[in-house]
């Protein structure tokens, strides 16, 4: 540490020691900032979690970010059997974000329980398992296998196509949202978070339906449906033609939807969509979210989640807050 002090060692110490003491005090204050939040009775050390599908099941990112520093790790979607996903190409960069049509490729619940969950339990962070399915029965088989597992919460991806209803996503019709929420709640041992699709006419109506079905919390938003065309080849860039758009461009839409749902329901919300900075995350909390999930930014900066946690500590100190919870839903 350079102080610019020239002179006897004791004269240097007179300058250096107070500076070291000041730095130690500032670091201590940063550590003491209260970032704890509670979702459905589960206390998280801080409000920052990962968005499903962007962080694997934690193992893939553990070399880049200390999982102990996160409020929760949300796994990629887990189905009752392995899913191969869609044909390639299935990822495309677009202005302000990316499109993906991965198709929820995953190794299935049995592999998850044998390989991924034991790895996650090595860390002092909450584990939230994202559950996907094509039918109610598929969802329920996964939920039932997780009943006696050391999992803190379930996040249910209702943007999946309901094959028994002509491929229409479970989350697009209020009655369908309420019905599947009720069935999953009846089968689950852990709190249930319903993940909402933004591709609806009235997001608040969908949120109320999930709450009526017994949801313990809501996470939103999932990706917006988009498309990219290669003008030189005159064909679709994605083999699936359409894909889910994520990234900074959708952030204002996501903040608006979180705010709308905060006015419509009384259960906790987890905000996500285009978070790439502490400020983006704080917007969600001011709009009414109790926690946030970081997604596409993980691909650009693998340790972005830890950076946002540090940013929240600084914010609590700078704003003179007793804790981060003071800001939740304060913008009406």
Range of the domain at 266: 40-327
d(CA 232, CA 226): 19
The whole-number pLDDT of residue 15 equals: 57
User: Rounded to whole angstroms, how far apart are CA atoms 21 and 16?
Assistant: 9
Tokens read off for 171: 């989350």
Does a structural domain hold residue 72?
yes
Q: Rounded mean pLDDT of 300-321?
A: 97
In a domain, 4, yes or no: no
For residue 5, pLDDT beyond 90 = no
**Euclidean distance between CA atoms 132 and 123, whole angstroms:** 24
Confidence at 332, pLDDT banded by 50, 70, 90 = confident
233-281 pLDDT, tens digit per residue, is 999 999 999 999 999 999 999 999 999 999 999 999 999 999 999 999 9
Task: Tell me, yes or no, whether 8 lies in a domain.
Answer: no
CATH code of 266's domain: 3.20.20.70
Q: What do you get for the CA distance between the two ends of the chain, in Å?
A: 47
| CA–CA distance, 142 with 180 (Å, rounded to integer) | 14
Instruction: Give me the chain's average pLDDT, please.
Output: 92
Residue 13 lies in a domain: no
Residue 5 included in any domain: no
Q: Quick one: tokens of 212?
A: 């009526």
Dump pLDDT digits (tens) for 81-101. Answer: 999 999 999 999 999 999 999
Tell me, yes or no, whether 232 lies in a domain.
yes
Handedness of CA 241, 245, 249, 255 (dihedral sign): positive
- Bridge-based pairing of strands 192-195 and 229-230 is unpaired
Angle at 156 between CA 151 and CA 161, to 5 degrees: 145
Backbone region of residue 113 per phi and psi (left: phi > 0; alpha: psi in -120 to 50; beta: other values): alpha
190-203 burial by CB neighbour count: b if 16+ within 10 A, else e? bbbbbbbbbbbeeb
Domain assignment of residue 213, yes or no:
yes
pLDDT digit string (tens) for 189-240?
999 999 999 999 999 999 999 999 999 999 999 999 999 999 999 999 999 9
Residue 61 lies in a domain: yes
pTM of the model: 0.89
Neighbours of 158 (CB within 10 A): 25
Active-site amino acid positions: 160
Count how many domains the chain has.
Answer: 1
């Amino acid at each position: 540490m350079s102080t610019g002090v020239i002179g006897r060692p004791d004269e240097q110490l007179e300058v250096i020691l107070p500076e070291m003491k000041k730095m130690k005090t500032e670091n201590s204050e940063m550590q003491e900032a209260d970032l704890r939040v509670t979702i459905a009775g589960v206390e998280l050390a801080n409000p920052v979690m990962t968005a499903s599908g962007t962080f694997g099941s934690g193992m893939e990112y553990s070399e880049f970010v200390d999982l102990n520093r996160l409020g929760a790790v949300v796994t990629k979607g887990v189905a009752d059997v392995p899913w191969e996903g869609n044909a390639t190409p299935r990822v495309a960069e677009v202005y302000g974000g990316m499109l993906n049509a991965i198709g929820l490729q995953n190794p299935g619940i049995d592999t998850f329980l044998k390989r991924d969950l034991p790895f996650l339990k090595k860390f002092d962070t909450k584990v939230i398992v994202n559950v996907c399915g094509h039918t109610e029965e598929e969802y329920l088989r996964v939920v039932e296998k997780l009943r006696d597992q050391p999992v803190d919460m379930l996040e249910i991806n209702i943007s999946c196509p309901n094959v028994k209803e002509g491929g229409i996503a479970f989350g697009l019709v209020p009655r369908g949202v309420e019905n599947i929420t009720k069935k999953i709640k009846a089968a689950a041992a852990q709190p249930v978070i319903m993940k909402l699709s933004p591709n609806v006419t009235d997001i608040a109506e969908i949120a109320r339906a999930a709450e009526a079905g017994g949801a313990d919390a809501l996470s939103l938003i999932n990706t917006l449906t988009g498309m990219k065309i290669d003008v030189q080849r005159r064909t679709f860039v994605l083999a699936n033609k359409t894909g889910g758009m994520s990234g900074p461009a959708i952030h204002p839409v996501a903040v608006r939807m979180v705010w709308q749902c905060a006015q419509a329901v009384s259960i906790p919300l987890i905000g996500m969509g285009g978070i790439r900075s502490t400020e983006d995350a704080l917007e969600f909390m001011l709009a009414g979210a109790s926690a946030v999930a970081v997604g596409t930014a993980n691909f650009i900066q693998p340790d972005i989640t830890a950076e946002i946690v540090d940013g929240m500590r600084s914010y609590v100190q700078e704003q003179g807050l007793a804790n981060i919870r003071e800001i939740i839903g304060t913008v009406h």
